[in-house]
């Protein structure tokens, strides 16, 4: 099915995710990682059941941080043993739901978090397997732990773990490794390696203090966001990581410790396109306002929080009529905040034109202000190349609470 056919059939705004591209991204990433290693898919990037299911079928594990993501992972056929629950504030309800579904693996973020996980595990009659999330900014090897870290709600300071490992034990839990997630969206192998070197040396330093049978080195793999372009290549990453691990963690080749990685955007960003219709083009005080049927309630809501780069999307059209300078690209919401870009050159579009925003398979709909102003969510279609897999729309529903 062509894009125009999909847009005609399902209307716009319309997200289309292509499973074939997810498989290509997965193949590229696994080729860039050392063998053996485990790869977690972070559902935060896109929890759509058929997106997540593609990665479940490819053998990924799942990293989830809420009961909603946990449910999405189970629906996507990640077995409970392949799911890890992360996040700095795990409520009892979330933990009990995890236990009820046989999910017993967690990233613990503090002694209190560890105790709370342990109480939930004890209520369920199991022992929870926990990675301890450790916050390191920089470690100078050969000098013990030299922290110049930023304060963070994530994890515990490495110096705390090194000094008082006994504080990281709790009934109902077994600490089985470390979780180190330091950065994101890093397009260059050198910087990625620098980050992994910090993590690997930290893990090697903490091996005496804790049982370390898994080391989750996090990720940071980059992807384009709402722009044309490709996933970065990391041509020599696998070799350089292999050398790094050989130098510091002998045994990793026989999974002792097991080395793991996490990725969200790299795996799914390039699979997604958002199709929109131009609702209006109008002048205002010398400038051109292009009004689309989609806005910050479908894409880029979080960029206002500076958690994501500002969405200044490329608009792709099949109908090239030239370029319009100094445009303001806005959505239908009754707030001036619903502006994707301001002062940009855009293709000269007209009312009724179909336009496409590329590379929005990660941090799209669910990273946006879906409830604000009550417009319907964009329809989400999943295809596999030319084959239609599913079409659905997310709704918010008010339920009575007794």
Q: Which residues of this protein are in contact with ligand PLP, per CB under 6 A?
A: 42, 44-45, 63, 86, 181, 184-185, 218-219, 221, 262-266, 362
Helix/strand/coil percent split, the chain, to 5: 30, 25, 40
Q: How far is the CB of 218 from ligand PLP (least distance, A)?
A: 6
Q: In the complex with ligand PLP, which residue's Cβ is closer, 86 or 198? A: 86
Q: How far is the CB of 263 from ligand PLP (least distance, A)?
A: 5
Q: How far is the CB of 154 from ligand PLP (least distance, A)?
A: 8
Q: How far is the CB of 362 from ligand PLP (least distance, A)?
A: 6
Q: What single string gives the DSSP state of each residue in 219-249?
A: --B----SSS--PPP-TTHHHHHHHHHHHH-
- Going through 148-271 in order, the beta strands assigned E by DSSP cover 156-157, 173-179, 214-216, 258-263
By C-alpha distance, which of 290, 274, 293 is closest to 282? 290
Q: In the complex with ligand PLP, which residue's Cβ is closer, 86 or 339? A: 86
Distance between alpha carbon 382 and the CA centroid of its chain, in Å? 18
Q: In the complex with ligand PLP, which residue's Cβ is closer, 257 or 264? A: 264
Q: How far is the CB of 26 from ligand PLP (least distance, A)?
A: 13
101: helix, coil or strand? coil
Q: How far is the CB of 184 from ligand PLP (least distance, A)?
A: 4
Q: In the complex with ligand PLP, which residue's Cβ is closer, 78 or 221? A: 221
Chain residue whose CB lies nearest ligand PLP = 264
Phi, psi of 208 (to 5 degrees): -70, -35
Phi, psi of 169 (to 5 degrees): -135, 145
Q: In the complex with ligand PLP, which residue's Cβ is closer, 214 or 338? A: 214
Q: Report yes or no: 130 and 111 within 8 Å, Cβ to Cβ.
A: no
Q: In the complex with ligand PLP, which residue's Cβ is closer, 6 or 29? A: 29
Residue 6 is inside which H or E element, if any?
helix 3-10
Q: How far is the CB of 331 from ligand PLP (least distance, A)?
A: 24
Q: Report yes or no: 177 and 212 within 8 Å, Cβ to Cβ.
A: yes
Q: In the complex with ligand PLP, which residue's Cβ is closer, 84 or 355? A: 84
């Amino acid at each position: 099915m062509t894009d125009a056919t999909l847009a005609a059939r399902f209307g716009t705004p319309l997200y289309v995710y292509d499973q074939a591209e997810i498989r290509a991204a997965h193949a590229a990433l696994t080729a860039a990682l050392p063998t053996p290693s485990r790869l977690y898919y972070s559902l935060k990037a896109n929890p759509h059941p058929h997106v997540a299911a593609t990665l479940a079928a490819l053998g990924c594990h799942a990293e989830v941080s809420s009961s909603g993501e946990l449910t999405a992972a189970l629906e996507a056929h990640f077995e409970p043993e392949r799911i890890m629950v992360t996040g700095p504030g795990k409520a009892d309800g979330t933990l009990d739901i995890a236990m009820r579904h046989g999910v017993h693996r967690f990233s613990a973020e503090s002694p209190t978090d560890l105790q709370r996980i342990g109480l939930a595990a004890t209520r369920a009659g199991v022992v929870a397997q926990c990675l301890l999330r450790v916050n390191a900014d920089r470690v100078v090897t050969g000098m013990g732990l030299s922290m110049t870290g930023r304060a963070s709600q994530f994890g515990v300071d490495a110096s705390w773990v090194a000094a008082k490992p006994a504080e990281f034990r709790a009934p109902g839990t077994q600490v089985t490794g470390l979780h180190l997630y330091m950065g994101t969206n890093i397009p260059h192998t050198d910087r990625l390696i620098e980050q992994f070197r910090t993590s690997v040396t930290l893990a090697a330093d903490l091996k005496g203090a804790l049982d370390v049978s898994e080391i989750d080195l996090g990720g940071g793999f980059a992807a384009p966001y709402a722009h044309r372009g490709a996933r970065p290549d990391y041509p020599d990453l696998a070799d350089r990581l292999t050398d790094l691990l050989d130098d510091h963690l002998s045994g990793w080749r026989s999974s002792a410790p097991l080395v793991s990685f996490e990725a969200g955007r790299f795996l799914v960003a390039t699979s997604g396109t958002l199709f929109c219709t131009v609702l209006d083009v109008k002048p205002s005080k010398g400038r051109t306002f292009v009004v689309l049927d989609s806005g910050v309630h479908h894409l880029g809501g979080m960029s206002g929080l500076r958690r994501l780069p500002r969405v200044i999307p490329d608009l792709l059209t099949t109908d090239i009529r030239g370029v319009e300078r100094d445009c303001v690209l806005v959505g239908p919401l009754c707030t001036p905040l619903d502006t994707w870009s301001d002062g940009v050159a855009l293709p000269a579009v007209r009312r009724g034109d179909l336009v496409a925003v590329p590379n929005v398979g990660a941090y799209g709909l669910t990273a946006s202000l879906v409830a604000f102003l009550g417009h319907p969510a964009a329809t989400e279609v999943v295809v596999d190349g030319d084959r239609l897999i599913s079409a659905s729309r997310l709704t918010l529903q008010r339920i009575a609470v007794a």
